[in-house]
Amino acid sequence: MSGNATALIIIDVQNNILLGSDPRGVETLAALDAMVHRLAALADRARAQGVPVIHVQHDGEAGHRLEKGSEGWKIRAELGPAAGEPVFNKSACDAFLGTGLEALLRERSIGHLIIGGCMTPYCIDTSVRSAVAHGFDVTLLADGHMTCDIGALRFEQIIAHHNQILDGFPVGPHKAQVRPSADFLA
């Protein structure tokens, strides 16, 4: 991968991302709101420093909580793309699969991605691993990704687990690291 420029990639922070998916509702939504607040602050800082902010948006099928074109599908207002910021639409967990994201990153000589968003065990995990496999170095924001309770696991456990297993994830000379958003907001 040539280039060492950085981009902030925000994945699937859409209005209905957690709608109806978690029996702990209020607690989970409060954690989601806190994560969105951190990502919004980081996006503002990135913009102020000239770091590209790139959005990825899931296109759900008819009847899905993220049905393309619905209110639930829209990117949350706090993170709404600024003028000129690219939005890549996807229909699978991988932000790179069939989206044009990789081509844009290479065109701009971006080699380091800071990633945050939803949902941790699906689109975040898959996209982090895919980014590294495509030759990018990745920083996953430890407190900048979110999910809901799944089965017997609470969302906090799922996030902690992925922070642990993705930190240091290597493919050849490239790897992922996990750092708190405060490291970029100081």
Three-state secondary structure along the chain?
CCCCEEEEEEECCECCCCCCCCCCHHHHHHHHHHHHHHHHHHHHHHHHCCCCEEEEEECECCCCCCECCCCCCCECHHHCCCCCCCEEEECCCCCCCCCCHHHHHHHCCEEEEEEEEECHHHHHHHHHHHHHHCCCEEEEEEEEEECCCECCECHHHHHHHHHHHHCCCEECCEEEEEECCHHHHC
User: Can you give the residue range of the structural domain that contains 48?
Assistant: 5-185
Residues 20-70: pLDDT tens digits? 666 667 788 899 999 999 999 999 999 999 999 999 999 999 999 999 999
Decide if pLDDT at 2 tops 50: no
Decide if pLDDT at 4 tops 80: no
Please give the pLDDT value at position 170.
97
Instruction: Give me the number of domains the chain comprises.
Output: 1
Higher pLDDT, 167 or 65: 167
Confidence of residue 115 (pLDDT cuts 50, 70, 90): very high
Residues 24-33: pLDDT tens digits? 677 888 999 9
Residues 59-103: pLDDT tens digits? 999 999 999 999 999 999 999 999 999 999 999 999 999 999 999
Q: Please, what is the average pLDDT of the chain? A: 94
Mean pLDDT of 135-163: 97
For residue 70, give the CATH number of its domain: 3.40.50.850
Confidence of residue 3 (pLDDT cuts 50, 70, 90): very low
Please give the pLDDT value at position 83.
96
Strands 110-118 and 5-11: parallel
